[in-house]
Structure 1
Amino acid sequence: MKDRAMRRALAVAALAAAGTLAGCANPAADEALVAQTALIGMPKETLLSCAGVPERQAAVDNREFFTYRSSRLVSYPSPPPLGYYGGGWGWPYHGYGYGGAGYGYEVSSYDCEATFSLRNGVVERVVYGGTSGGSARLGQCYAIVQNCVALIPQRTIKPTP
């Protein structure tokens, strides 16, 4: 009987871990990574038409640097404190105000700064930065490059054997 309970607990833990990892997938982050190489060779005029006017720009010799920023603030209800009952019309208690303090809100900030290096009027490099980390930042970077990515001819994805 203990083996059965142990296997069930392990199966539940494995499913939870798989769900957590699947939740980390961020298609926008993947596209932002692809854009770093796909946009190389894009003419300056095309970049300006799809990304817009940069927030900052600088020129040194035959190089130009265009910097774009994108940020967003997301707020969502936080879970109730452990052991919290009430605060609505539901089980186990009915009515408002029973059980103490209500729910709070969690706020997350995502930002990206994308700098395009151009040499002789053509994109040579795209670098991402910002205070957000990992796929959260990359997902926000996609907001900067998405219109430009739409101009790139469809890539052919080769299946891996």
Structure 2
Amino acid sequence: MSGRALAVAALAAAGALAGCANPAADEALVAQTALVGMPKATLLSCAGVPERQASVDNREFFTYRSSRLVSYPSPPPVGYYGGWGWPYYGYGAGWPSYGYEVNSFDCEATFSLRNGVVERVVYGGATGGSARLGQCYAIVQNCMALVPQRMIKPNP
């Protein structure tokens, strides 16, 4: 492969990866370190009342959950349907015969607090990868607005 063709291929690959970036997922990752040290009262004021909470010795665990459903039309079937006259997709008077696809995104964020201060933030949920992290941002978004910008360090 020539040098020019290799450079074009590398640029195309970089463009494809940049198109898949999820800023909300990136912010959720930053939040895992930026929210450490936040007082309990501040956490409750920005994240709200947790869905579940537990206490063990001098540790507290607050668990928040966020989920959403996204639906979009599925692709139409291949081919044309119909009888006399103009062909159209589906059947009947132009109504499509295809349905909808539904995706579910969910996140569960657990804040560990020791002596009334956030010590750790852990994400979980059935959805994986950046889709889950993007949904996790919905939980920490209001709290991130309270963190001074100089304290937010980008992940390497």
AA in 2 matched with 1:116: F
1:25 aligns with 2:25: no
Structure 1 runs not aligned, ≥5 long = 1-6
AA in 2 matched with 1:56: R
Q: For 1:131-146, what aligned pairs fall within 5 Å after superposition?
A: 131-146=126-141
Q: TM-score, normalised by structure 2?
A: 0.79
In the alignment, is the contact (CA less than 8 A) between 2:69 and 2:104 conserved in 1? yes
**Equivalent position to 2:112, from 99, 113, 117:** 117
1:95 to partner: Cα distance = 8.5
Of stretches 18-27 and 60-69 in structure 1, the one that deviates more from structure 2 is 18-27
In the alignment, is the contact (CA less than 8 A) between 2:76 and 2:89 conserved in 1? no
**Equivalent position to 1:47, from 17, 30, 43:** 43
In the alignment, is the contact (CA less than 8 A) between 1:67 and 1:116 conserved in 2? yes
User: Within 1, Cα distance between the matches of 2:99 and 2:27?
Assistant: 34
Regions of 4+ moved over 6 Å: 98-101
User: Within 2, Cα distance between the matches of 1:45 and 1:144?
Assistant: 16
**Equivalent position to 2:148, from 110, 129, 153:** 153
Distance change >3 Å, CA 130–CA 157, structure 1 → 2: closer
User: Within 2, Cα distance between the matches of 1:95 and 1:137?
Assistant: 35
User: Within 2, Cα distance between the matches of 1:95 and 1:141?
Assistant: 39
User: Within 1, Cα distance between the matches of 2:153 and 2:107?
Assistant: 27
Distance change >3 Å, CA 66–CA 157, structure 1 → 2: closer
User: Within 1, Cα distance between the matches of 2:125 and 2:89?
Assistant: 45
User: Within 2, Cα distance between the matches of 1:147 and 1:49?
Assistant: 9
1:78 to partner: Cα distance = 1.2
Distance change >3 Å, CA 100–CA 75, structure 1 → 2: closer
**Equivalent position to 2:97, from 102, 117, 121:** 102
Distance change >3 Å, CA 104–CA 18, structure 1 → 2: farther
User: Within 2, Cα distance between the matches of 1:157 and 1:120?
Assistant: 24
Distance change >3 Å, CA 56–CA 21, structure 1 → 2: same
User: Within 2, Cα distance between the matches of 1:125 and 1:67?
Assistant: 12
Q: SS at the partner of 1:47?
A: helix
User: Within 2, Cα distance between the matches of 1:124 and 1:111?
Assistant: 23
In the alignment, is the contact (CA less than 8 A) between 2:80 and 2:89 conserved in 1? no
In the alignment, is the contact (CA less than 8 A) between 1:84 and 1:100 conserved in 2? no
What percentage of residue pairs aligned between the two structures are identical? 78
Structural RMSD (CA): 3.1
